[in-house]
């Protein structure tokens, strides 16, 4: 279980990512670079997996999203409960879709002029400065999902406080990675580990600062 946030004076940034064993985080619908591994996550989805995703989302105050992830989510989640595949994966699919639609969302983008998905706010100016300002405000966790380029910016500016990683037992051999050549050395403290019935290892790390 992820450690509770007891400091009510500042927010944490929690990077929550689905990864292959070789570190690929590229989403099914992201075809950049000729990515062809459609549906690579779905065979590993079980109740423990679903609960971990749902619990992480419900314990967060807001989502931080980059443009590409925002556009994928905004196109899918408002009508997600109509998708049979999604409903089959999660017993409480209506509840999870409600969480995604109702949670506050902050979007970092250099190209969007507006964001229309409910409860979404476009961050103005430099993304790192905007997130740093959000962290100084009172509130709960700011959870990043997907948003690989935004995560790189947050890591570069030492704005990540915790990693929640779901490592899948497969090697993809290609695709965008979370941890890349040139990332700064970062010491981590393991807070929790859970293994699902399908072999996904869920790791929670605190950044040691």
CATH number reported for the structural domain that contains residue 92 in this entry: 3.40.430.10
Residue 82: pLDDT band (50, 70, 90) is: low
Lowest-confidence pick of 50-59, 69-78, 88-97: 88-97
Question: Is residue 14 within 8 Å of residue 161, measured between CB atoms?
Answer: yes
- Quick check: 4 pLDDT over 50? no
Rounded Cα distance, 86 and 28, in Å: 14
Specify the pLDDT at position 141: 97
Contacts of 63 (CB under 8 A, 6+ apart): 57, 103, 104, 105, 106, 142, 143, 144, 145
Mean pLDDT of 80-100: 68
Residue 171 lies in a domain: yes
- Quick check: 37 pLDDT over 80? yes
Residue 3 lies in a domain: no
Question: Is residue 121 within 8 Å of residue 105, measured between CB atoms?
Answer: yes
Residue 25 lies in a domain: yes
Residue 31 lies in a domain: yes
Residue 7 lies in a domain: no
Residue 2 lies in a domain: no
Cα within 13 Å of Cα(24), Cβ side = 22
Return the percentage of the chain with pLDDT > 70, whole number: 89
Residues in the chain: 209
Q: What is the mean pLDDT of the chain?
A: 89
Residue 8 lies in a domain: no
Residue 145 lies in a domain: yes
- Backbone phi, psi, residue 14, to 5°: -115, 120
Residue 3: pLDDT band (50, 70, 90) is: very low
| Residue with token string 């314990």 | 59
Q: Which domain holds residue 129?
A: 13-207
Could you write out the DSSP letters of every residue in 110-130?
SS-S---STTEEEPPS-HHHH
pTM of the model: 0.89
Report the domain count for the chain.
1
Angle at 192 between CA 30 and CA 69, to 5 degrees: 15
Specify the pLDDT at position 95: 80
């Amino acid at each position: 279980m992820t450690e509770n946030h007891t400091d009510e004076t500042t927010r944490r940034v929690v990077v929550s990512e689905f990864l292959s064993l070789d570190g690929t985080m590229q989403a099914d619908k992201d075809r950049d670079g000729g990515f062809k591994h459609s549906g690579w996550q779905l065979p590993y989805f079980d109740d423990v997996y679903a609960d971990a995703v749902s619990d992480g989302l419900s314990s967060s105050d807001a989502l931080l999203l980059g443009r590409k992830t925002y556009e994928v989510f905004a196109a899918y989640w408002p009508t997600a409960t109509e998708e049979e595949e999604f409903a089959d994966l999660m017993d409480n699919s209506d509840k999870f879709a409600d969480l995604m639609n109702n949670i506050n969302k902050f979007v970092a983008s250099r190209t969007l002029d507006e964001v229309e998905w409910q409860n979404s706010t476009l961050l103005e100016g430099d993304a790192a400065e905007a997130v740093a300002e959000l962290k100084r405000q009172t509130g709960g966790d700011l959870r990043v999902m997907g948003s690989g380029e935004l995560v790189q910016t947050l890591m570069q500016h030492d704005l990540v406080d915790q990693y929640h990683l779901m490592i899948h037992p497969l090697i993809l051999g290609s695709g965008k990675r979370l941890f890349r050549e040139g990332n700064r050395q970062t010491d981590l403290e393991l807070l929790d580990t859970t293994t699902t019935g399908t072999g996904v290892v869920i790791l929670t790390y605190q950044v040691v600062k």
